Amino acid sequence: MSHSARKRRQRRSKGGAARVLLVLFAVAFVGIGVSTIGGVGYVVSIANAVDLNEMDQVDPGAPSVVYAKDGTRLGYLPGPVLREKVRTSEMTDLVRNATVAVEDRRFYEHSGVDVEGIFRAATRNISEGGNAEGASTLEMQLIRNLWTKDTTSSLKRKIREAKLAQQLEDRHPGRQGKTWVLTTYLNTAPYGTVGGQQIKGVEAAARVFFKTTAKKLTLPQAAMIAGLPQAPTDYNPYINPEGALQRRNDVIRRMAQQGYISTADAVEAQGTPLGIKNGGSYYTNRRERFFLNYVRNILVEKYGPKRVAQGGLKVYTTLDLKKQQEARKAMADHLDPSAGDPSAAVVTLDPATGDIEASTGSTQFGSSQYDLATQGRRQPGSTFKTIVLATALGQGISPSTSYPAPPTIAIPAKYGTGVVKNFAGEGSKGGSMDLKTATLKSVNTVFFQLDIDVGPENVTKTAKAMGITSKLISVPSEGLGAASVSPMEIARVYATVANGGYRVTPRAITKVVFENGSVKNPEPVRRTRAIKQDVASEVNRILQADIKGGTAASANFGCPAGAKTGTTDGPSDVWLAGFTPRMATAVWVGYPASRKTITSTTQAGGNIQGASVSAPIWKQYMQAAHGDFCGDFQGLVPFTGTRGRKASSTTGSSTGTGGYGDGTTTGTDSTTGSTGGTDPYPSDSYESAPPAATTP
């Protein structure tokens, strides 16, 4: 550094020190009206005790906002503070000028502390005997709002604020610095409380009081808002409209006096009514409330409740509003709750990413906060047979393998008593059926035998691998749908078939933008190999055959797709789960609060099963939601398994046909069902004891 440069730096340092000392004594002098000065040492000791560089900025708080896939705002999550940060260009000059006029008229002239204003305030306070006028600049108020949070009326506070305000001015010098200070102040200043929530920042104030934005505020509106921070409660227009009007007109008068507006404009503005328009609903109106709750729970788990409520997060999600609309329309077109029809739920996942593109039920939020799509735990019926089939193919069993296919079959003693029967009495006493045909006809007696052959515990492993997270207890009846799972889980299973055997984690959030601009990805795409590619390919082909000519044929909408129906005993739960190359969708129909039997619907009449009730909803929705895409599946490979079923010496059929496998891979647990011992259907596993499944 040159000698001349060092000299200039020393002069600036000395001048800066002298300026600081003058300011501090001025602040002390203004305190004469309210307290006694304890001397030079007192002032200096307080000033030396603070350093802005060593202080953390206080988070002013802001509600988090959630957006749909297309950027549409779904709503703000509840929080104690209403605040939106906006740029300088997003504020009208009217509100900026009004704020300067009423809060700090020499804002553009002083250096963080207004010495002239301090002595003027001191003189007035002494002459009037009290604290008639303050001398806090916008910088000092900003220090109070964002760093010290000290609102006590003390000389110590003012000295600290003065010192810190000058440091803030040094950190943000010049005209550009003034712009930063004013913009930051307007983004964090308090504007009152409405409905128990604090209004901070001019954008939130504009929305709550006038249903507009900071950019569109008129002169009277801007003046009323600018007058609030000095006494937000006293001037609150909802509480004290007369006081708010007087304060607004005073702000307008000051703007005219300081040359920001003409006298004529001031007179006209002062003659207008307050014109308050309650816009608080902007922050309380929410779309897709069930999905918002789902997202909020994820955020709270990741970042904690305080950050979610006050952190000003911008949350971008996977939800496709068009698909949501089409799902609700399909449910409404086929079910009429006012006529006693059951409820329904639809879930769609992108098989490639796990993105939750649709997740909705037919019930309105408020009438029930129970999310049928993600929280419902219902018996999936024969949609679970896909898991049994995948387990068998994974063990190398060929889909051409045949099993005895009687209309009924006795339950082995180790699993309970009674019989398993086919939904419509399919099968014959001496006949048999291969696995592909049994899938297309959804034959219970064949799949019951298959479940025991491959091992119920292995079916459970496959279920978990493909996306079932609910509790399973590894008994053969689960393979026929005697479990309790959600539509989200079933959609995940069918996504695994659609994408070539990868389990995808359902993803609701693509990114979270924090107020400081940092971006987080709390839910990255997760794909885990669940079943072998050839197994997924073969299950895919069989389920494509099912929608072309099996029990799911009524769901065929003309594009390549695979599907499986499901109907539980009663029937109380009816399903259609299926997929295309780009969408995996589960549709459930039933009564949310009970296992009540569905006797009829307005569209299907008394023919209640997955093919007649859920399939039409699935078909209509998928046809509309799929758009123009009608491409075929890619990457399907030949199935490599060739193992057939070994002959069994076990007799288990009520018709005497036998056929439960060779007994080497049963993998059963020790429960004995209705014959005594441990209950295979404990109350903590199921909403009600699963019946003998009769699922098409």
- Tell me: pLDDT of 656 over 60: no
The per-residue pLDDT for 640 is: 92
Q: What is the CA radius of gyration of the chain?
A: 36
Quote the CA–CA distance of 10 and 8 in Å, as a whole number.
5
Cβ(101)–Cβ(251) under 8 Å?
yes
Mean pLDDT confidence for 280-288: 94
Mean pLDDT confidence for 374-399: 96
Percentage of residues in the chain having pLDDT higher than 90: 68
- Tell me: pLDDT of 444 over 50: yes
For β-strands 584-590 and 573-579, DSSP reports them as: antiparallel
- Tell me the pLDDT band of 127, cut-offs 50, 70 and 90: low
Cβ(469)–Cβ(680) under 8 Å?
no
- Tell me the pLDDT band of 23, cut-offs 50, 70 and 90: low
- Tell me the pLDDT band of 651, cut-offs 50, 70 and 90: very low
Quote the CA–CA distance of 288 and 139 in Å, as a whole number.
42
Cross-strand pairs, 136: none
The per-residue pLDDT for 13 is: 38
The per-residue pLDDT for 575 is: 96
Cβ(409)–Cβ(448) under 8 Å?
yes
Among 367-381, 417-431, 511-525, 587-601, which range has the highest average pLDDT?
511-525
- Tell me: pLDDT of 685 over 50: no
- Tell me the pLDDT band of 337, cut-offs 50, 70 and 90: confident
Q: What are phi and psi of 170, to 5 degrees?
A: -65, -35
| Residue 515: closest CA among 317, 313, 315 | 313
Tokens of 126: 């002494």
- Tell me: pLDDT of 17 over 50: no
Among 12-26, 79-93, 144-158, which range has the highest average pLDDT?
79-93
The per-residue pLDDT for 612 is: 80
The per-residue pLDDT for 416 is: 85
Helix, strand or coil, per DSSP, at residue 163: helix
The three-state DSSP-derived secondary structure of 590-653 is ECCCCCCCCCCECCCECCCCHHHHHHHHHHHHHHHHCCCCCCCCCCCCCCCCCECCCCCCCCCC
Distance in angstroms between the alpha carbons of the first and the last residue of the chain: 89
Mean pLDDT confidence for 514-542: 97
- Tell me: pLDDT of 675 over 50: no
Mean pLDDT confidence for 602-629: 85
The per-residue pLDDT for 428 is: 65
* Range with lowest mean pLDDT among 123-137, 225-239, 665-679: 665-679
Amino acid at 388: V
Per-residue DSSP letter, 148: I
Comparing 81 with 611, which gets the higher pLDDT?
81
- Tell me: pLDDT of 3 over 90: no
- Tell me the pLDDT band of 22, cut-offs 50, 70 and 90: low
Mean pLDDT confidence for 477-498: 96
The per-residue pLDDT for 51 is: 84
Mean pLDDT confidence for 430-443: 92
Burial of 584-594, coded b for 16+ CB within 10 Å and e otherwise, reads bbbbbbbbbee
Full set of structural domains in the chain with CATH:
3-49+80-282 (1.10.3810.10), 326-675 (3.40.710.10)
The per-residue pLDDT for 158 is: 83
Mean pLDDT confidence for 308-334: 97
- Tell me: pLDDT of 432 over 90: yes
Quote the CA–CA distance of 273 and 276 in Å, as a whole number.
9
Ranges of H-type helices in 271-362: 281-284, 289-303, 305-310, 321-334
The per-residue pLDDT for 202 is: 98
DSSP secondary structure, 78-93, as one string: P-SEE-----GGGS-H
Q: Across the chain, what does the average pLDDT equal?
A: 85
The per-residue pLDDT for 369 is: 64
The per-residue pLDDT for 156 is: 80
- Tell me the pLDDT band of 155, cut-offs 50, 70 and 90: confident
Q: Which residues contact 501 (CB under 8 A, 6 or more apart)?
A: 529, 530, 531, 532, 533, 535, 536
Comparing 201 with 2, which gets the higher pLDDT?
201
Q: What are phi and psi of 509, to 5 degrees?
A: -120, 125
Percentage of residues in the chain having pLDDT higher than 70: 80
The per-residue pLDDT for 431 is: 85
Mean pLDDT confidence for 666-673: 25
The per-residue pLDDT for 603 is: 73
Cross-strand pairs, 62: 311
- Tell me the pLDDT band of 602, cut-offs 50, 70 and 90: confident
Mean pLDDT confidence for 509-533: 97
Mean pLDDT confidence for 418-445: 86
Mean pLDDT confidence for 375-397: 96
- Tell me: pLDDT of 216 over 50: yes
Mean pLDDT confidence for 109-118: 82
- Tell me: pLDDT of 15 over 80: no
The per-residue pLDDT for 44 is: 65
The per-residue pLDDT for 251 is: 98
- Tell me: pLDDT of 209 over 80: yes
Mean pLDDT confidence for 468-481: 95
Quote the CA–CA distance of 619 and 605 in Å, as a whole number.
18
The per-residue pLDDT for 689 is: 31
* pLDDT 10s digits, 589-601: 999 888 888 877 7
The per-residue pLDDT for 188 is: 97
Distances (CA, A) of 461 to 233, 491, 563, 639: 62, 17, 22, 21
Per-residue DSSP letter, 418: S
Cα-based angle 531, 533, 536 (whole degrees, multiple of 5): 65
| Residue 575: closest CA among 461, 474, 493 | 493
As to burial, measured by CB atoms within 10 angstroms (0-12 exposed, 13-18 middle, 19+ buried), residue 458 is: buried
